[in-house]
Amino acid sequence: MTKEHFYISENSLELTGDSYYEEIIETQITNQETLIELGRGTEIVFENEKLIEVYEYYEENRDIYRRKKEIEQNEFNYKKPLYQPKFILSSILVPNGFHQIGGDFTEDFHRPSEKTSTSFQYLGYINNEDPNFSWLQYKLHLTYPIYLGAEIVFLDYTDNRKPKIFNIDELLKCSPILDEVDINSEITFIPKNFNFQKSNNYCLEVNSGIPNWIQGHYIPKCPKSGRKMKFVCQIYNGSQTENSNIIPMNDWNKNYFEKMEFFGADLYIFIEPESNIVCMFTQGT
């Protein structure tokens, strides 16, 4: 009998058909090489459409182990997943790459006009000319208020050159993370082009394909349509600062203005392609 193996880059799954865990499986389904490289994940095995084995991958003292897990009584009827395996896409700097990290606002893309307590920064763009992102309707320019204490930011890209803040009432209540930053603060980052390449692990700059969750799985729903949003990418580190009018109060704070970074967290970016709503939020340790 032929066995079918499926690999999900998360542990502690419940194979009951529950919508929360199904969303994780759909988002994180991949290949065995990725589980081994990441040192975590779940392998589920079917024979004649029946779940027969479950294994968890884990790392201990830099060695990777595959441990059989007991199938719970309410998991025996679990149906094999029909989702297509995904790959991690990690960034690599290329002079003429499709995508860009850093840069500045131009006539092609304007900063949101709504006035929050700190300004938005330009982060770069994801180019839909890359076959990996042909599902995007346009080159997606990215902007985010790095120094605003916002839990989540929704932007309306109905005019993809002039996005508007969708959850403006929430953002108006947010204060700056650092005292030396306000609405007049300007900071731009050196523009660098890059491409995405298939990988079995995440890099320390920009990743796509499969989210790398730090504080737990979270796929946002579009506040306009109610539909689940689609993962674009996540940014851990960007390029060095090119220009800034911010004067750091001390050497410690200076670190936060020397390059594009999100206070030790990753910035996650999602879009709902039909409603043109973009969602951004951070997760960190």
One digit per residue, the tens of pLDDT, for the chain of length 285 reads 689 999 999 999 999 999 999 999 999 999 999 999 999 999 999 999 999 999 999 999 989 999 999 999 999 999 999 999 999 999 999 999 999 999 999 999 999 999 999 999 999 999 999 999 999 999 999 999 999 999 999 999 999 999 999 999 999 999 999 999 999 999 999 999 999 999 999 999 999 999 999 999 999 999 999 999 999 999 999 999 999 999 999 999 999 999 999 999 999 999 999 999 999 999 998
Three-state secondary structure string covering the chain: CCEEEEEECCCCCCCCCCHHHHHHHHHHEECHHHHHHHCEEEEEEEECCEEEEEEEEEEECCEEEEEEECCCHHHCCCCCCCCCCCCEEEEEECCCCCEEEEECCECCECCCCCCCCCCCEEEEEECCCCHHHCCCCCCEEEEECCCECCCCEEEECCCCCCCEECCHHHHCCCCECCCCCCCCCCEEEEEEEEEEEEECCCCCCEEECCCCCCCCCCCCECCCCCCECEEEEEECEEEEEEEECCCCCCHHHHHHHCEEEECCEEEEEEEECCCCEEEEEEECC
Q: pLDDT digits over 257-281, tens only?
A: 999 999 999 999 999 999 999 999 9
